[in-house]
Chains A and B, each alone.
Chain A
Amino acid sequence: MELKQILDFSYELGAVLVMLMIFLSLLRALKGPTAPDRITAISIIGTKTVVIITLIAWIYDQAYFLDIAMVYALMSFITTIGVAKYLEKGAID
């Protein structure tokens, strides 16, 4: 009983902490000297957003948020690949 309450509270606290880490990663995306630095920061922010969506799915007890998390992971991966290809070749092909 005690442990369940601690666990629920720590999931909410964990979501807030991951959000603060996203803001810290955003500092590198703002500052980063080269373009690959920014792409790295945005890719990392995508992974952390997937973690936040799954934690929110647990907190609000909505299982279909997990499908949204899966689609978000897919879109984040495709975006990273596309921007890196564009940086390398000057075109997406």
Chain B
Amino acid sequence: MTEIGSFLEILIDLVSLLSLIGGLFFLFVGTVGLLRLPDVYNRLHATTKCDTLGAGLILLSLAVQCTAPVAVRLALIIIFIIVTNPTAAHVIARAAYNTGIKPDLGRRDASD
């Protein structure tokens, strides 16, 4: 019985550690995309998905360690981030398009 309990504890710690490392990796990829990509729309595309997944993974790695009331709050924050982050990206992209910023489609003709 104690062996099973300690095994579960080690398993939870391993899941937590792997999830934290994955979340930090995705946040870093999103930051690199924000710095390196050439266009507003490309930057939105990279950072929104990577940041939503990275923040969700880091909060999940905390939620598997906590007691139930704290885990519920963390789950609420995760759901809120998953709902609001793409919405904000859509609003920013629509504002950028309506203010006249053309997407960089990669075509290079004689006028460039």
State the A residues within 8 Å of B (CB).
Answer: 3-4, 6-7, 10-11, 14, 17-18, 21, 24-25, 27-28, 34-37, 39-41, 43-44, 47-48, 50-51, 54-55, 58, 63, 66-67, 69-70, 73-74, 77, 80-81, 84-85, 87-88
Contacts and interface: CB of A to CB of B under 8 A. Distances in A.
Given A3-B13, A11-B20, A55-B62, A50 B30 contact: no
7 A-B pairs with least C-beta separation: A36-B96, A88-B95, A84-B95, A77-B84, A80-B88, A84-B91, A66-B73
A85 B94 CA distance: 9
A80 B55 CA distance: 18
B8 interface: no
A47 B20 contact: no
Q: How large is the interface on B (under 10, 10 to 19, 20 to 34, 35 or more residues)?
A: 35 or more
Interface of B: 10, 13-14, 16-17, 20-21, 23-24, 27-28, 30-31, 34-35, 40, 43-44, 47, 51-52, 54-55, 58-59, 62, 65, 69-70, 73-74, 76-77, 80-81, 84-85, 87-89, 91-96, 98-99, 101
Interface of B is mostly: helix
Contacts of B93: 36
B27 A7 contact: no
Tell me what chain A mostly uses at the interface: helix, strand, loop, or mixed: helix
A73 B58 contact: no
B13 A4 contact: yes
